[in-house]
A and B are shown apart, each in its own frame.
Chain A
Amino acid sequence: MRNLIFLLVKYGGVIFFIILEIVCFSLIVKNNQKQKEIYDSTNQRLTGYFYNNWDNMTHWWGMSSVADSLATENAHLRAELKNAQFISTILKDSAYNEASRQRYTFIQARIVSNSVKNNNNNLRISRGTDHGIAPHMGVIASGGQGGIVGITTATSPSHTRVMSILNRNSRISVEIESNKEFGSLVWRANDYDKMRLEDIPKDVVFSVGDTIQTSGFSSMFPQGIIVGTIDTSWVESGSNVHTIDVSLINDLRKIRYVYVVNDLLKEDIEIIEEDLENE
């Protein structure tokens, strides 16, 4: 006991200094917006740099540049698709005026780090604010049958952190293709190829194998991107909604290239959302 007091008097200052500064800086980064942004950006820059170099070492040089150019081309083609357009066709008397304008563009990116094992998985991609990426943009898979990957959270000039759909905080608005019933897609932190569809009322009829696609209700994903198929479903006793397990169409372990969805009408939509808050 005497020794303990002696130690406290002799080294307590240093010990408490280190402990309390750690406490202070975690409080700062947690509670102050400006400092948090600087921390996130620096963190992204460092880890992005590290992962990028690591990835380059383990990746074939020629292959990656060829695939990059193909992915860029695909991003342009994808923007030509119908679900990337904002249809402003209107009926006026009997005159029929068809017009559509660009709604979504796609930014191709390469994944430099990925995980599927944790409860809250994140990815890093080799594109950042320099390429037009901002937080809260949807990320979709490239190649194969499609599928979605996640939502951007923190950005630096060259790299971006993406919250994977395999993350407990992720909620994606999706619908059943056959009857357009919509619900939320969440992850229960079990299998990397299974997710849970919630909020579909008990009286809705569907069958196993039905396709699940994005609903287009948020500005993150265009409508109609295929997410997966219904695997099993049941109704919990006392509940009035279905519990549906969805098999994802894409294998998030093997994914290398993604597209980030840029919604050109995002500001328009935010304006009316702001009005709603003001009311």
Chain B
Amino acid sequence: MNSIVTTNIVRFIVFVLLQVLVFKGISFGGEWSGYFNLIVYPIFIILLPLRLPHFLIVILGFVLGISIDLFYDSLGVHASACVFLAFIRPVILAVLAPQGGYNMSFSPTKARFGNTWFLIYSSAMLFLHLFFYFSVEAFTFYHIGQIFLKTLFTFFISMIFIIVYQFSLNPLD
């Protein structure tokens, strides 16, 4: 029990710091650099324990988003995406539920539920997060094509990091 709490607190701090100190500064793609963002902090919401009540996940999402926003100087933009992601998480989990349902004492990690399941689950979550984030960032659907491109490019490079993280450290919780 306590180890899960500690793991998640550490994960929160590490990923916020990684995001704002390292990934925020990485830029490539030249004049297309606006399309290539490394956004990996949603992994915190993705990996929260399954038995955590929904409302707590939403609140934690808000706290995570606001922490990121403080450093990105974009108060509310990341937070709204995180709150949305936290809200939609049970829906994604319900759609992807394995036969016989989930063991509620687990966290949705690769180690617990296998490679394929984790890849589908984390891709769906990250994609939804990024699409919502870039929509709020643009604040209009006038440039919907641009929003899609940004989401796609950012999705692929961020997904690489999430895969590397899960496969190298392979955390149980």
Contacts and interface: CB of A to CB of B under 8 A. Distances in A.
Interface in A1-55: 8-9, 12-17, 20-21, 23-28, 30-32, 34-35, 38-39, 42
Contacts of B139: 28, 34-35, 38-39
Contacts, number: 76
A13 B76 contact: no
Interface stretch (B2-10, B52-60, B106-114, B144-152): B52-60
B54 A21 contact: no
9 contacts: A9-B53, A9-B54, A16-B55, A17-B83, A20-B83, A21-B80, A24-B65, A32-B75, A38-B140
B55 A27 contact: no
Interface of A: 8-9, 12-17, 20-21, 23-28, 30-32, 34-35, 38-39, 42
B64 to A, nearest CB: 12
A30 B76 CA distance: 9
Given A8-B55, A27-B75, A28-B75, A13 B87 contact: yes
B59 A20 contact: yes
A16 B77 contact: no
B83 A21 contact: yes
B35 interface: no
Contacts of A8: 53, 55
Residues of A contacting B: mostly? helix
Interface in B122-173: 136, 139-140
A32 B69 CA distance: 11
A16 B55 CA distance: 6
Nearest to B90: A13
B74 interface: yes
Interface of B: 53-59, 61-62, 65, 74-77, 79-80, 83-84, 86-87, 90, 136, 139-140
Contacts of B86: 17
A166 to B, nearest CB: 32
A31 B57 contact: no
Given A21-B84, A25-B80, A16 B75 contact: no
A9 B59 contact: no
A31 B76 contact: yes
B36 to A, nearest CB: 20
A24 B55 contact: no
A255 B62 CA distance: 47
Contacts of A20: 58-59, 61-62, 79, 83
B58 A32 contact: no
A13 B55 contact: yes
A32 B76 contact: yes
A168 B113 CA distance: 61
**Interchain residue pairs A-B with the least CB separation, the first 3:** A12-B55, A13-B54, A27-B76
A254 to B, nearest CB: 38
A27 to B, nearest CB: 3
Contacts of A28: 74-77, 80, 136, 139
